[in-house]
């Protein structure tokens, strides 16, 4: 298992402050190949964000059988702060977005969640495809900056 991180993972997202409470976290990761239990981390969701929607788009990560599947969740940036990782909060295991069949698009459906600490958006590949292909995963997280307590 390995982490596949965006190159600017910890430097991109900022709250809008006096200009409104919208928070848009985004990022991309180009992955040459995947292995069982690889975790792709395209962006950080900032502390104090109430997340309402996640959009994921990408190319075809596999070229054959078995086809690659994944789940979408979050993991703490600092494990001592929390929260506990939830690898499938935003989309359960078995998602087929990394396959060309679904044109690599996923709009995650979940109950809104607020984070008190920074977390990574994670896409986990529990079982790798037998035939990998290089592709780029793009992610956008939409939410409101409600602050931390």
pLDDT tens readout for residues 23-55: 899 999 998 888 888 999 999 999 999 999 999
Instruction: For residue 97, give every residue at least 6 positions away whose Cβ sits within 8 Å of its Cβ, in sequence order, or none.
Output: 56, 58, 70, 104, 105, 106
**pLDDT confidence tier of residue 20, bands split at 50, 70 and 90:** confident
C-alpha–C-alpha distance, residues 146 and 55, integer Å: 21
pLDDT digits (tens, 9 = 90+) for 76-91: 999 999 999 999 999 9
pLDDT score recorded for residue 12: 58
- According to DSSP, the residues that pair with 44 across neighbouring strands are 120
Res 141 pLDDT > 90: yes
pTM above threshold 0.95: no
């Amino acid at each position: 298992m390995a982490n596949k991180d965006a190159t600017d993972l910890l430097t991109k997202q900022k709250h809008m402050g006096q200009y409104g409470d919208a928070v848009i976290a985004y990022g991309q990761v180009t992955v040459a190949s995947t292995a069982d239990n690889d975790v792709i981390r395209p962006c950080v969701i900032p502390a104090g964000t109430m997340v309402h929607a996640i959009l994921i788009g990408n190319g075809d990560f596999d070229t054959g059988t078995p086809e690659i599947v994944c789940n979408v969740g979050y993991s703490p940036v600092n494990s001592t702060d929390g929260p506990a990782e939830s690898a499938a909060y935003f989309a359960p295991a078995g998602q087929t977005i990394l396959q060309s069949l679904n044109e690599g698009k996923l709009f995650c459906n979940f109950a809104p969640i607020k984070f008190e600490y920074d977390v990574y958006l994670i896409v986990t590949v529990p079982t790798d495809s037998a035939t990998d292909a290089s592709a780029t995963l793009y992610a956008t997280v939409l939410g409101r900056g409600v602050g931390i307590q």
